[in-house]
Amino acid sequence: MNSSLRSAPQLGLILALILLALTLRPSMAAIGPVLPFIQQELPFSFSLASLLTMLPVLAMGLGILSAHFFAQKLGPYRLIFWAAAAIGLATLARFWTYSVWDLILTAVLSGLGIAMVQAVLPAVIKQRFASHAALVMGWYISAIIAGAALAASVSAYLAEVLQSWRLALGSWGLLSVLALLAWYLLKPSLSQLAAPTAGQNPLGYRKFRRGWTLAWFFGLVTCAFTCVLAWLPAYYVELGWSEPEAGLLLGFMISMEVLSGIVSPMLASRLYDRRPVLVVLALLMLAGFAGLLLWPAAGWLWAGLLGLGIGGLFPLSLIVAMDHRTEAQQAASLTAFVQAVGYTLAAFSPLFAGLIRDLTQSFHLSWLLLALVSLLVLGLCSRFNPRFYADCFATKSSVN
C-alpha cells in the first residue's frame, strides 16, 4: 500500500467507506435466494417479483439526480449519514413485512438511500485520495459487490436455520448500524467536505455525447448485473437445484466479481489506455451468458466467467468516467449523471426478463438478449481512448 494511504485518518476513512459500501446491495441481493420461501407464503408472479429488484434500482437512478440538491443543502457528510440511516431502517423494517407491497416499499426506500450515498462518495474519494482515487474507488466498488456476495450466499441458509425469511432479510440492517458508527466517528474530519455548486449539476452532462456514451456503457453492464442478481438462482432452482445451492452459486459468482473488482482496477491502473482490460472483461461476460444458454449444466463455470467479467467492468465503467475529469466535484457530477441514466436503464431489465419468463416459461431468451448486450459493451470499449478525454467536455461551460 502506498505510504500516503497508511496514515490513521486515511485508514479510518477507507474502513468507513468499505463498511458503507457493504450496506449498498444486501437489500437487493438477499431477495433472489429467498424468493422461493417468500412465494410459498406470499404467492405472486415472477413479473411482480421483478419489482423487488427493479424499483430500488429505478429509485437509485432517479434519486442520484436529487442527491446534488440535498448535498448542497446538507453537505456531503450529513447527506451520507442520513442516507445510510435510511438504508438501515428500510432493511430492518423487513422483520415486520407481511405483504409483497411491504417488501416493495422497503426496497424503494433503501434504493433512495443507496442513490444518495453513491452520488456523493465519488467526490469524497476524489477529494481525500487525489492521485490514488482510482485505486480506492476500486476497493469501494469491490466492497459493494462483496456485500451483494455475502447476502446472496448466506440469506437462503439463514432463512432455513432461522425458519424465517423475514429474519434472513432484516438481519442485514445490522451492517448499516456498524457503517453509521464508523461514519459518525469521522465527523470531526469530514464535516467540512466541499459541497457541489449549482454549476456542477449532473444534468449538465446531458448536452455531451460522451456523457451518454459513458452512461450507456455503465447502464448495460448494470443490466447484466441486476438480471443475474434477480434471476440466476430462480433459473437453477427450475433446473432442479435446491434453493441454498442456487444461492451459493450466486454467491460464488458475486465472489468472483469481488475478486475481479479488486484485480481489474489494479491492472488497469498500470495502463494509460484501459481498453485492453475492458475488452477481456467484456469477452468473459459474453462467454458466461452464452454458456448459460447453450450448456447450463456447467453452471459453476459460467457463474465464474460472469463474475469475472461483470465484476471488473462494473468498477471500471465508473473509473473510466472519473478519468475524463480532473477536479473532484466535476468527476462526481459526471459519475452521478452516468449512474442516474445507467441505473434507470438497468432498472427495467429484471422486469423485462421476468415478463419473458412468464410468457415463455423459460429464461433462455433473456440469456440470449444479455449475450447481445455483452456484444454492445464490447463495441463501446473501443470508444475509450484516453488521448481524447480532454476534448470530450471542452466545448461547453455548463458543468465546469
Q: What is the pLDDT of residues 134-193, one digit of tens each?
A: 778 888 888 888 888 788 778 888 888 888 889 999 999 999 999 999 999 988 878 777
233 or 375, which is more confident: 375
Residue 243 has pLDDT above 50, yes or no: yes
pLDDT reported for residue 187: 86
pLDDT reported for residue 283: 97
What one-character DSSP code corresponds to residue 193? P
pLDDT reported for residue 295: 93
Neighbours of 197 (CB within 10 A): 11
The average pLDDT across 101-114 equals: 90
pLDDT reported for residue 362: 82
Query: Contact at 8 Å (CB) between 210 and 333?
Result: no
The average pLDDT across 18-45 equals: 84
The average pLDDT across 103-129 equals: 87
Residue 62 has pLDDT above 60, yes or no: yes
**Confidence band of 398 (pLDDT split at 50, 70, 90):** very low
Residue 273 has pLDDT above 80, yes or no: yes
- Tell me which of 45-54, 214-223, 225-234 is least confident: 45-54
Query: Contact at 8 Å (CB) between 363 and 353?
Result: yes
Measured in whole angstroms, the distance separating CA 396 from the mean position of its chain's CA atoms is 30
pLDDT reported for residue 23: 94
Query: Contact at 8 Å (CB) between 340 and 64?
Result: yes
pLDDT reported for residue 378: 95
Q: What are the start-end ranges of the H helices in 23-132?
A: 26-29, 31-41, 46-49, 51-74, 76-92, 100-129
The average pLDDT across 102-125 equals: 88
Q: To 5 degrees, how large is the angle CA 58–CA 61–CA 67?
A: 130
Torsion, Cα of 375, 377, 378, 383 (10° steps): 140
Residue 199 has pLDDT above 60, yes or no: no
Residue 2 has pLDDT above 60, yes or no: no
Q: Given the C-alpha cell 469481488, which residue does it identify?
A: 258
Q: What is the pTM of this model?
A: 0.78
Rounded to whole angstroms, how far apart are CA atoms 27 and 172?
7
* Contacts for 361 with CB less than 8 Å, ≥ 6 apart: none
pLDDT reported for residue 46: 66
- Tell me which of 94-98, 271-275, 323-327, 372-376 is least confident: 323-327
User: Amino acid identity of 138?
Assistant: G
pLDDT reported for residue 119: 83
**Confidence band of 3 (pLDDT split at 50, 70, 90):** very low
**Confidence band of 305 (pLDDT split at 50, 70, 90):** very high
**Confidence band of 400 (pLDDT split at 50, 70, 90):** very low
pLDDT reported for residue 352: 82
Rounded to whole angstroms, how far apart are CA atoms 237 and 33?
10
Rounded to whole angstroms, how far apart are CA atoms 10 and 132?
11
User: For all residues of the chain together, what is the average pLDDT?
Assistant: 85
